[in-house]
Amino acid sequence: MRAFETEKTEVAEIDRSVYDIKDKVNAAFEVNSGLTAEIVEKISEEKHDPEWMREFRLKALETYNKMSIPNWGPSLEGLDMSNIVTYVRPNTEMRGKWSDVPEDIKNTFERLGIPQAERSSLAGVGAQYDSEVVYHNVKEEVAAQGVVYTDMESALTGPYADMVKEHFMKCVPPTDHKFAALHGAVWSGGSFVYVPAGVHVDIPLQSYFRLNAPGAGQFEHTLIIVDKGAYLHFIEGCSAPKYNVANLHAGCVEIFVGEGARVRYSTIENWSKNMYNLNTKRAKVEKGGTIEWVSGSFGSHTGCLYPMSILQGEGARMEFTGITFAGAGQDLDTGAKVVHAAPHTTSHISTKSIARDGGVSNFRSSVVVLPNAAGSKSSVSCESLMLDDRSRSDTIPAMDIRCDAVDVGHEAKIGRISEEAIFYLMSRGMTEEDARALIVGGFAEPIAKELPLEYAMEMNNLIRLEMKGSIG
């Protein structure tokens, strides 16, 4: 028995070894903790914002101060903005060559496999460390197609400045909710992508966000514009070491899908378990366009994540495929939202969630069909698996149907692992732990096959590591 307990202890210490290595904080500059107009002004000054952005930030701060924290969803009482440092600039400039990135930062991303992934299977990579992008590069053949992939700061003041100004927080306005307003006030870093009409980017682009500083927030902004008839697969990864203080992630992703265009957005949210993950992601989809979301939520102490699609053109489509795994001390509230705002639009939401060791995994969805959306179809499917009697899983669907000529359906299943299945596998020579892990892996497999290979492997590894030592 003692040997088994030792193994459990060791697993708990090493299961996130790659992600939990804490680098020495060597910031070139950081603001004081808290959130004031003076701090927002200082961030704007440090980033050399154009005047319109400085004014935008201050207006967003005003909005933030007027809004209340939502009275639904997981508790955020452990998040105190007076203790959060909203801007930490690493001790480096952004580099276009990997060899020019400082050794300590480079070593972090090397451990995470980012350079290897770029060399083998990516058309471009952006890497952010704390509040700023430290590396950004796109393959020449992709750039030759007219594809723009750069950091947000460069886009804000470069040749595409007008396009940024036209689209910035138009999909997710600061008035949307309190943490959208917070983002508008203190955002920093992120990526800008523009794919011209008719261009198919056959190899994915990827941005990776690493938050290293304890007690800090990360507020990157990703703006993706895919023009008429174009295609893009964008991958986002993230991680942070675990600290004994609260960290905050309140990024924002805005995606504009042109007529007949298609965008696939894939991500694994793998934050540490001291993180409040309050990310906002939204897409506007024009006539005949398609947005595909593939989402995995594994990390963070508390998570609120509901990617939203506004189908504003006739025949626009949305697909959402997601998985959530909540372990001890985690309250993950995830799902998706869709607004059918045009005729013959289609949406499909399919999610799976797993909860163990007292974790809470809730599914929350919102389907809105407006009066002018005749002929639209929507289906919502949610499956939840609880691995013990201490965990919790709830399904909270909301449907607002304002048009009669539509086809809308919802299906939910919540259950536990069959003891008969466990017995059968054990009778074939498997341990109970391995049997449970196999069943959970099979439950998650439909999601894994939708992810890029390296992210599917990461997801499966996370599941195995979370499962190890869960019996007893």
Bridge partners for 88 per DSSP: 30
| Per-residue tokens: 111 | 């451990």
The answer to whether residue 333 is domain-embedded is yes
The answer to whether residue 252 is domain-embedded is yes
pLDDT value for 112: 67
Highest mean pLDDT pick, 70-74, 314-318, 359-363, 466-470: 314-318
Torsion sign, CA atoms 52, 58, 62, 67: positive
E strands present in 186-230: 191-195, 205-210, 217-218, 221-226
pLDDT value for 119: 61
Torsion sign, CA atoms 93, 94, 95, 96: negative
Going by pLDDT thresholds of 50, 70 and 90, the confidence category of residue 10 is very low
| Alpha carbon distance 7, 10 (integer Å) | 5
Q: Residue 393 above 60 pLDDT?
A: yes
Strand order in the sheet with 132-138: 132-138, 124-129, 205-210, 231-239, 262-270, 290-297, 317-326, 346-355, 377-386, 407-416
What phi, psi does 244 have (nearest 5°)? Answer: -95, 15
The answer to whether residue 280 is domain-embedded is yes
Q: How many domains does the chain have?
A: 1
Task: Please state which of the ranges 63-67, 196-200, 205-209 shows the lowest mean pLDDT.
Answer: 205-209
Question: Could you read off the pLDDT of 95-153 as tens digits, one per residue?
Answer: 888 778 878 777 777 776 666 666 666 778 888 888 888 888 888 899 999 999 999 99
pLDDT value for 193: 97
Output the furthest CA–CA distance in the chain (Å, rounded).
70
| Alpha carbon distance 112, 48 (integer Å) | 31
What is each CA distance from 196 to 264, 329, 410, 412, in whole angstroms? 16, 45, 37, 40
Task: Please state which of the ranges 185-194, 249-258, 377-386 shows the lowest mean pLDDT.
Answer: 377-386
Amino acid letter, residue 89: R
**Residue in this structure with the two tokens 């400039």, named with its chain if needed:** 93
The answer to whether residue 109 is domain-embedded is yes
| Alpha carbon distance 214, 22 (integer Å) | 9
pLDDT value for 11: 27
Q: Counting Cβ atoms within 10 Å, is residue 155 exposed (0-12), middle (13-18) or buried (19+)?
A: buried
Going by pLDDT thresholds of 50, 70 and 90, the confidence category of residue 423 is confident
pLDDT value for 26: 64
pLDDT value for 201: 95
Q: What percent of the chain has pLDDT over 90?
A: 54
pLDDT value for 6: 31
Q: What percent of the chain has pLDDT over 70?
A: 86
- Mean residue pLDDT of the chain comes to 86
The answer to whether residue 472 is domain-embedded is no
pLDDT value for 421: 75
Question: Could you read off the pLDDT of 134-146 as tens digits, one per residue?
Answer: 888 888 899 999 9
Q: Residue 110: which domain range?
A: 2-467
Q: Does residue 111 contact residue 205 with C-beta atoms inside 8 Å?
A: no
| Alpha carbon distance 13, 32 (integer Å) | 32
The answer to whether residue 75 is domain-embedded is yes
The mean per-residue pLDDT over the stretch 58-69 comes to 97
| Alpha carbon distance 445, 143 (integer Å) | 35
| Alpha carbon distance 347, 459 (integer Å) | 25
| Alpha carbon distance 52, 248 (integer Å) | 26
Model confidence, pTM: 0.89
Q: Residue 220 above 70 pLDDT?
A: yes
